[in-house]
């Protein structure tokens, strides 16, 4: 029995040594919520650990100015515009309008198509519709000075046809303000 006690003695000492090591813990680290954990000292008493200040959050970048946008027609819309020009020159303005409306179903936010349709409306002596289409194009053309100038010229022409010459002159001035210098 004595030999069993002697052989167990080193195991007991090792176990006591390991349990003593578990009493001391590393200093606290901040928690995910930003609060501090406590650390236990070798004597077993708890002490609060100092708070680590959070790194300052960088301010979001200032929004970039809207990019200059040059509207262009896609291949399908471009082909339909060319087809509508051929139809209009042949005197079939109704079919030309239907063709432009097909193009608008493809690119409804392209101001160039609204300007094309407005020009066709002027050919058909429908100045009020041409004016409305010019204003729609103007609303869509932000960032594209060329498209804005074309929309103002369409509006000016529609006003002039209706005898509103002073308003037409104002619209022409606006168109000129967008034209390249």
Question: Which has more pLDDT, 19 or 117?
Answer: 117
Average pLDDT for 124-131: 96
pLDDT over 60 at 163, yes or no: yes
pLDDT value at 154 more than 50 = yes
Q: Would you place residue 24 in the very low, low, confident or very high pLDDT band (cuts 50, 70, 90)?
A: very low
Mark 35-74 as b/e (b = at least 16 C-beta within 10 Å): eeeeeeeeeeeeeeeeeeeeeeeeeeeeeeeeeeeebebe
- Assess whether pLDDT exceeds 70 at residue 158: yes
**Domains, the chain, with CATH or none:** 75-178 (1.25.40.10)
Q: In this predicted model, what pLDDT tens digit does every residue of 63-114 receive, in sequence order?
A: 444 556 788 998 999 999 999 999 999 999 999 999 999 999 999 999 999 9
pTM, two decimal places? 0.62
pLDDT given at position 83: 96
Q: Which of these, 143, 140, 151, 145, lies nearest to 177 by C-alpha position?
A: 145
Residue 179 — pLDDT band, cuts 50, 70, 90? Answer: low
Instruction: Write the DSSP symbol of residue 46.
Output: E
- For the chain, the average pLDDT equals 78
CB 168 within 8 A of CB 160: yes
**Closest C-alpha among 142, 119, 138, 139 to residue 129:** 119
């Amino acid at each position: 029995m004595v030999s069993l006690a002697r052989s167990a003695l080193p195991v007991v000492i090792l176990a006591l040594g390991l349990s003593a090591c578990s009493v001391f813990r590393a200093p606290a680290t901040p928690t995910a919520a930003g609060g501090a954990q406590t650390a236990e000292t070798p004597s077993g008493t708890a002490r609060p650990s100092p708070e680590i200040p959070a790194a300052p959050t960088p301010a979001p970048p200032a929004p970039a100015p809207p990019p200059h946008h040059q509207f262009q027609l896609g291949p399908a819309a471009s082909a339909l515009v060319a087809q509508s020009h051929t139809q209009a020159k042949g005197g079939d303005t109704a079919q030309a309008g239907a063709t432009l409306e097909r193009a608008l179903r493809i690119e409804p936010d392209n101001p160039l198509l609204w300007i094309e349709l407005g020009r066709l409306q002027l050919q058909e002596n429908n100045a009020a519709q041409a004016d409305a289409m010019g204003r729609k194009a103007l609303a869509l053309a932000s960032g594209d000075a060329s498209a804005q100038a074309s929309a103002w010229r369409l509006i000016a022409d529609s006003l002039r046809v209706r005898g509103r010459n002073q308003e037409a002159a104002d619209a022409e001035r606006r168109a000129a303000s967008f034209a390249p210098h």
